[in-house]
Amino acid sequence: MTAMWASGCPGRDNPVEPTVPGRQNGGMTSPAFSPTLQMRDGHTIPQLGLGVYKVEDDLATSLVDGAIDAGYRHIDTASLYANERGVGNGVRSSGVPREELFITTKVWDDDHGYDETLRAFDTSLELLQMDYVDLYLIHWPVPKQDKFVDTWRALEALQTDGRARSIGVSNFKPHHIERLRKESDVLPVLNQVELHPWLPQVETRQYNDSLGILTEAWSPLARGRVLDNDILQGIADKHLKTPAQVVLRWHIQTGTVVIPKSNSLDRIRENAQVFDFVLDVADLAAIASLETGERTGMDPDLH
């Protein structure tokens, strides 16, 4: 088995924000471009990362390598995605030291429960070929199983052991986090939820903010469906950007951690080019008008 990396602390300095050409024709890897946000446990997370949902394992290797080459330092995977091995291979082939990267993975519904979660985490580390992850999340609360508190206690133990530097949740509504507040010792540092202009998650964001929990957006472009919109196109034309870049910039300016995904390295590079313009008050108001409450995924209470 390939040797695992030695443990190291995530980078703490705010990175620079260059144009992101990527390492082409054998050039140097681009420096990190994303600003970082501090989590409630003192660690930091790059605000813009790469999601790999529905990316095949073999493709994940080349996309992760290419994304890191383009300046990405934050990669978000999960056991459900069945590409943790590919992500780990991509990280290693990039040549960027492990301690300069931020890697997230998640425990799936079938592995809820204290002992089950510990076993699932061991499997994830083996596939990633790493000896720690920067962030470990409960993927869904799955309230019908009523095991997410025991699962959370396993995450607390993993953090105590140092194998999960930070721990958080995904798709948790405020009432799910309230149970963790009442029945455990540690609050999540981050809550990853579906969030895009149709579903800005105002109530959940306000609740997270009140507890010092960062909000992270999955499906930040509503699976691409929100982009065919005249308002977004108008804002994009104004700034000489694409509608996707406008929405990603909206996430950045509203303080959200955001992890767009793509199977195209060109699109991954394009998604990073959101630090050379600013949305004004009129732009933000226009995007706020797009709220409909429409989800592209399941309601967490029903999952």
Count CA atoms closer than 13 A to 275's CA, side-chain side.
16
Rounded distance, CA 224 to CA 243, Å? 10
Query: Could you give the C-alpha distances from 154 to 111, 169, 284, in angstroms and in order?
Result: 11, 13, 40
Query: Could you give the C-alpha distances from 181 to 13, 69, 151, in angstroms and in order?
Result: 31, 40, 14
Residue with tokens 């992850």: 133
Contacts made by residues 157-162, CB under 8 angstroms, sequence distance 24+: 157/118, 158/118, 158/121, 159/186, 162/7, 162/132
Query: Could you give the C-alpha distances from 26 to 34, 72, 186, in angstroms and in order?
Result: 23, 18, 45
| 132 catalytic per annotation | no
Q: Are 188 and 172 in contact (CB under 8 A)?
A: yes
Nearest residue to 298 via CA among 179, 173, 175, 181: 173
Catalytic member of 72, 81, 132, 207: 81
Q: Which two tokens stand for residue 210?
A: 């009140």
Nearest residue to 303 via CA among 64, 141, 110: 141
Instruction: State the first-to-last Cα distance of the chain, in angstroms, to the nearest integer.
Output: 36
Q: Which two tokens stand for residue 76?
A: 């978000």
Q: What residues are annotated to the active site?
A: 81
